[in-house]
Chains A and B, each alone.
Chain A
Amino acid sequence: MRMYDLPDERGHFGPYGGIFVAETLSQALDELREAYAAARSDAQFEAEFRYELKHYVGRPSPIYHARRLSEQCGGAQIYIKREDLNHTGAHKINNTIGQALLARRMKKQRVIAETGAGMHGVATATVAARYAMECVVYMGVEDVRRQAANVHRMGVLGAKVVPVESGSKTLKDALNEAMRDWVTNVESTFYIIGTVAGPHPYPMMVRDFQSVIGEESIQQMQEMAGRQPDAVIACVGGGSNAMGIFHPYIAAKEVRLVGVEAAGEGLETGKHAASLCAGRPGVLHGNRTYLLQDANGQITETHSVSAGLDYPGVGPEHAWLKDNGRAEYVAVTDDEALAAFHALCRSEGIIPALESAHAVAQAMKMAPKLPKSAILLVNLSGRGDKDLHTVAERAGKKL
C-alpha cells in the first residue's frame, strides 16, 4: 500500500475517516470537497498560500539545535522546529490561512471556528480580520473561563466568541455547536476546523496546509545536520501539528514518527486525553477514529494540563498510522510535561506551550538512551505565554 494516495475518494484512511454526518450536512461537504479539489490543483491558489505564509506568518520557521538541553539529557542531539515563532504563536495559523483563502474563493463572507485553548480561535480571528470576514468562534463555557486572555484577544481582533453550554461545555461540544451553525448558515458560512479531524475533506485539507512544517524540516535538516533525524516527535491533540510534520516524512521509512498524547494524571487514573493509547475506535464528529468512550459508547470527558490536547478523539490518519505501525504513539503526564516546560525555559530560553512541552518531555525521555550522534527533531507547536497562568497555579502562585 502506498500511503501517499490516502485518503480515498470519500476520505478513508484504511478503516478510519470517512464522512459520517447527517444528511443535512452532506451537501455542504460536497461543495467543500469540490472547491478544495479545484483549489488544490490551482497554481494561483498555491502561490497565494505560499505568499501569505512567507510574508504574513513569517515562514519558514527555523530549526534550532538545542545544544544545552541535549547536553543535559546526555545522549541524542535535540533539534527544535520553531512553530512557536509563527505569527500568533502557534502552528494553527498555517491552516487558518489556507482555509480562509478557500473561503474567499468560495465567496463566503462569514467564518466560524471551534476552539479549546483558544489558539485556533485566535488564529481564525486573525485571518478573519486580515481578509475582512465576519468571525464567530464557539468555545465551551469551561474553556471561556480557563482561557480568559485568549477570549479577550479574539474580541480585540473583532471576532464574536459564543460560549457553549451544552454537553461537557468543552472543545468537543464547541465543535458540535460550530457544526450546527454551519448546517444552518451554510450559504454564507465557511467552517474552519482547527485540526485534522471532522468529516472528509477536513482531515486531508488541514494536513495539506500543515504539511509545510514537514516539507521545510526535510530541507532544513539536510542543511543543518546533513541528514534527516532518527525520530520526529510531536504532540497530538487532534493531531494537526503532528500530521503536518509527519506527513512529508512518511515515505522516509528510516525516520521514526512519534506522536505524544496527554496522559494527564496518568493513563491508569482515567484522567487523561490519550485517545490512541487508551481509546477504542468509534464514530464522532463525522469520522471513524480512536475515541475515549464509556461502555455505552458515550464520549467521555478528558483531562490534560494543556487545554489544546484536551480532545477525546484524534485525526483518522493518526489512527491509520498507529494500526499499520508507521507511527508510534506514547503518552506523557501533566507532571512530565511541566518538568519539560521548565527544562526548556531554563536550558534554552524558550518558553514552550504546554501542548508542545509534551513532545519535549518525550524527547528528554528518548535522548539519554541514544548515542550522541543520534538526532531527534521536536515540533515545538506553540509558545507558552498563554500557559503562564496555569504554570503559576500549579506552583501554588497567583499572577
Chain B
Amino acid sequence: MSRIQGRFEALAKAKRKALIPYITAGDPTPSMSVPLLHALVDAGADILELGVPFSDPMADGPVVQRSGERALKHGVGLSDVLGMVGEFRRRDNATPIVLMGYANPIEAIGTARFLPQAKAAGIDGVIVVDYPPEECVEFAQAAKQHDIDPIFLLAPTSTEKRIHEVARCGSGYLYYVSLRGVTGAGHLDLSEVSKRIPQIRAATKLPIGVGFGIRDAESARRVAETADAVVIGSRLIQEIEAAPAEALTRVKSFLRPIRQALDASFSK
C-alpha cells in the first residue's frame, strides 16, 4: 500500500478529513523549505504538496508565479527539490509528499531516470500539471511501477468522459481544482463543488481533494463536507510572502485553526 493510500485509509477510519498544504520548493529560500515542511506537519498537515519551480507556469496565478520566481532566483531545480525531500525524510518518514509541477523539468532529467530518483528521495505522488491523461499513459504506468501515485486534476469544465479517463489513469487521490482560470483566482464556488464531487465519486473510489480556492477555516470546512481532502496553496504562500523571515510561525498560525475547524466538524 502506498503512503498516500495508507494515510487516507487511516483518516477515513477516524472519519477525519485530510489537510494538504501546497508550497513551492525554494520559496522564500532553499534553506527554509525543509523547516517549512516540518512546520506544516506540526500544524496538522496530513499530506504535503511541494511545487517544483518552473520558468513558465502557464496554469498558475500571480501568487504561485511569484513564489516560483523567488525560488528560481536561487536557482532551485528539480534535483534540488528531490534533495530537499530526502532531507525531510530523515526526520519524517510518515507524511506523504506529492510533487507538483510542469512536464519540462521532468523531461529534462528524463522520465526513466526521474522516477527511481524520486522514489529514492521519498516522494509518494506526482502531479504534472501539463500532462493530461492522453499524453502520459506510459508515464503514469511507469510511476505506478515505481510505487509513485500519478495524481490528476479535474476542473469545473471537465466532461464526464474526462472524469472517467482520469479515474482510470490516476491513483492516490484525484484533485478537483475548484475554479475556472488560474490558481488563486477569484472565489471558491461552493455550490459547484458540492454538485461536482458526487459526480466524480460515481466514477472513482479514489479519495477526492479540492483545492486552490480555499482561504480560511470556514471555506475549508464547507469544502470538506463533500471532499476527502482540502488543499490550500495561494493563501498559504501569501503568508510566506508577507514576511519571509517569520514564515515558519506564520504558516503554523495560519494552518492550525483550519486543522481545528476540520477536526471539530469531522472526526469520531
Contacts from A to B (Cβ < 8 Å)? 10, 18-28, 30, 166-168, 172-173, 176, 179-180, 183-184, 186, 280-286, 291, 293, 295-299
Please indicate the chain A residues that have their CB under 8 angstroms from the CB of B159 in the complex. Answer: 27, 30
Instruction: Find out whether the CB atom of A183 lies under 8 angstroms from the CB atom of B182.
Output: yes
Instruction: Find out whether the CB atom of A298 lies under 8 angstroms from the CB atom of B177.
Output: no
Please indicate the chain B residues that have their CB under 8 angstroms from the CB of A183 in the complex. Answer: 59, 180-182
Sample (6) of A-B pairs whose CB atoms are under 8 Å apart: A22-B59, A176-B56, A176-B58, A280-B108, A293-B104, A297-B109
Which residue from A26, A186, A285 sits with its C-beta under 8 Å from B56? A285
Q: A283-B102, A296-B78, A298-B54 are in contact. Are A23 and B69 (CB under 8 A)?
A: no
Please indicate the chain A residues that have their CB under 8 angstroms from the CB of B191 in the complex. Answer: none
Which residue from B61, B130, B153 sits with its C-beta under 8 Å from A20? B130
| CB nearest neighbor in A for B130 | A20
Q: Does B131 contact A (CB under 8 A)?
A: yes
Instruction: Find out whether the CB atom of A19 lies under 8 angstroms from the CB atom of B79.
Output: no
* Closest beta carbon of chain A to B61's beta carbon, Å: 7
Which residue from A18, A23, A180, A298 sits with its C-beta under 8 Å from B158? A23
A277 to B122, CA, bound (A): 38
Please indicate the chain A residues that have their CB under 8 angstroms from the CB of B59 in the complex. Answer: 21-22, 24-25, 180, 183
Instruction: Find out whether the CB atom of B104 lies under 8 angstroms from the CB atom of A291.
Output: yes
A24 to B185, CA, bound (A): 12
Contacts from B to A (Cβ < 8 Å)? 53-59, 61-62, 65, 69, 72, 75, 77-79, 102-109, 129-132, 134-135, 152-155, 157-159, 162, 166, 177, 179-182, 185-186
A184 to B212, CA, bound (A): 14
A26 to B130, CA, bound (A): 10
Instruction: Find out whether the CB atom of A179 lies under 8 angstroms from the CB atom of B58.
Output: yes
Please indicate the chain B residues that have their CB under 8 angstroms from the CB of A299 in the complex. Answer: 55-56, 104
Please indicate the chain B residues that have their CB under 8 angstroms from the CB of A285 in the complex. Answer: 56, 58
Please indicate the chain A residues that have their CB under 8 angstroms from the CB of B54 in the complex. Answer: 297-298
A116 to B178, CA, bound (A): 33
Which residue from A18, A23, A173 sits with its C-beta under 8 Å from B155? A23
Instruction: Find out whether the CB atom of B77 lies under 8 angstroms from the CB atom of A296.
Output: yes
Residue among A167, A280, A281, A293 facing the most chain B CB atoms (10 A cut-off): A167
A30 to B180, CA, bound (A): 16
A328 to B26, CA, bound (A): 41
Which residue from A168, A184, A281 sits with its C-beta under 8 Å from B180? A184
Please indicate the chain A residues that have their CB under 8 angstroms from the CB of B55 in the complex. Answer: 167-168, 298-299
Please indicate the chain A residues that have their CB under 8 angstroms from the CB of B177 in the complex. Answer: 23-24
* Closest beta carbon of chain A to B259's beta carbon, Å: 28
Which 5 A-B pairs rank lowest in CB-CB distance, beginning with the nearest?
A297-B108, A296-B77, A184-B181, A22-B59, A297-B105
* Closest beta carbon of chain B to A65's beta carbon, Å: 43
Please indicate the chain A residues that have their CB under 8 angstroms from the CB of B57 in the complex. Answer: 176
Please indicate the chain A residues that have their CB under 8 angstroms from the CB of B72 in the complex. Answer: 298
Which residue from A20, A30, A166, A168 sits with its C-beta under 8 Å from B65? A166
A22 to B131, CA, bound (A): 7
Which residue from B69, B78, B135 sits with its C-beta under 8 Å from A18? B135
Q: A180-B181, A285-B56, A298-B105 are in contact. Are A10 and B134 (CB under 8 A)?
A: yes
| CB nearest neighbor in B for A20 | B130
* Closest beta carbon of chain A to B258's beta carbon, Å: 24
Q: A28-B157, A166-B69 are in contact. Are A282 and B107 (CB under 8 A)?
A: yes
Please indicate the chain A residues that have their CB under 8 angstroms from the CB of B186 in the complex. Answer: 184
Residue among A20, A21, A280, A293 facing the most chain B CB atoms (10 A cut-off): A20
* Closest beta carbon of chain B to A13's beta carbon, Å: 14
Instruction: Find out whether the CB atom of B130 lies under 8 angstroms from the CB atom of A22.
Output: yes
Please indicate the chain B residues that have their CB under 8 angstroms from the CB of A298 in the complex. Answer: 53-55, 72, 77, 104-105
A281 to B162, CA, bound (A): 28
* Closest beta carbon of chain B to A198's beta carbon, Å: 10
Please indicate the chain B residues that have their CB under 8 angstroms from the CB of A293 in the complex. Answer: 104, 108
Please indicate the chain B residues that have their CB under 8 angstroms from the CB of A280 in the complex. Answer: 108
A18 to B179, CA, bound (A): 25
A24 to B53, CA, bound (A): 20
Instruction: Find out whether the CB atom of A20 lies under 8 angstroms from the CB atom of B181.
Output: no
* Closest beta carbon of chain B to A60's beta carbon, Å: 37
* Closest beta carbon of chain A to B233's beta carbon, Å: 14
Q: A296-B105, A296-B108, A297-B109 are in contact. Are A27 and B155 (CB under 8 A)?
A: yes
Which residue from B56, B129, B152, B157 sits with its C-beta under 8 Å from A284? B56
Please indicate the chain B residues that have their CB under 8 angstroms from the CB of A184 in the complex. Answer: 180-182, 185-186
Instruction: Find out whether the CB atom of A21 lies under 8 angstroms from the CB atom of B107.
Output: no
